[in-house]
Structure 1
Amino acid sequence: MARWKFRRQHPIDRYVVDFVTLDGKLIVEVDGVTHAEPSEVAKDKARSEVLETCGFLVVRVSNTDVYDNLEGVLEMIESTLPSD
């Protein structure tokens, strides 16, 4: 993944995303436990739809996965990025 430059807290449209690689057109959102609430799930879905209309793929990972399974998160991100 060394060839991909990720930006943190980057504005796209009306949102500030957690992490993005502009070249890879991939947004990684890291969600805490509050994102499991039905109202937050709906907001996240609407947010993802807007970001996807901007040409990005949005993937969501939990804080727990980042802390407990960082290697798996990185593998998922790497497999999601274009391989060209």
Structure 2
Amino acid sequence: MSLPETLLWRELRKRPGGYKFRRQHPAGEFVLDFYCTRARLDIEIDGWVHESTQRAERDGQRSAFLRSQGIATTRIPAKRVLEDLDAVITRLVVICDERIDKVMMPLHQPAAGPPPRSGEES
């Protein structure tokens, strides 16, 4: 792991916000830098390599595949991890909380009673 990944992993192992993270988690043909199963969140630490056009295309394909599996991706510049690790951890917990809230929301609202019978008005 790179230095930013090592520093981040040291903090993620402490289960910030009560979330458990894995590192080097397989997903299809990809290996995710870090992954939170409960929030279905992929965390990628991007260094200068990710600035190339070819790499950006590959990253886009990867994100699209993960989205199709219900997994969100957040990309964090390696420089940001080195500059303000506490802020990165705080933001990751917020993202996980938001994802959990979305997952826990019902897809529909419960009906206010049985539907009207045929020929009756509601």
For normalisation by structure 1, the TM-score amounts to 0.91
1:43 alignment partner AA: R
**In the alignment, which of 37, 41, 50 is matched to residue 26 of structure 1?**
41
Aligned counterparts, 1:1-84, within 5 A = 1-82=16-97, 84=101
Give the deviation of 1:26 after TM superposition.
0.7
Give the deviation of 1:64 after TM superposition.
0.7
Looking at secondary structure, tell me which structure has more helix per residue. Answer: 2
Unaligned runs of 5+ in 2: 1-15, 102-122
1:42 alignment partner AA: E
Larger radius of gyration: 2
1:26-74 CA-to-partner distances (Å, cap 9, x unmatched) read: 1100011010111111111111110111111100001111111111211
Looking at secondary structure, tell me which structure has more strand per residue. Answer: 1
* SS class of match (1:28): strand
Aligned-pair identity in percent equals 30
2:28 alignment partner AA: D
Give the deviation of 1:2 after TM superposition.
3.9
1:12-33 CA-to-partner distances (Å, cap 9, x unmatched) read: 1111000001111111000110
1:39 alignment partner AA: Q
For normalisation by structure 2, the TM-score amounts to 0.64
Count of aligned pairs: 84
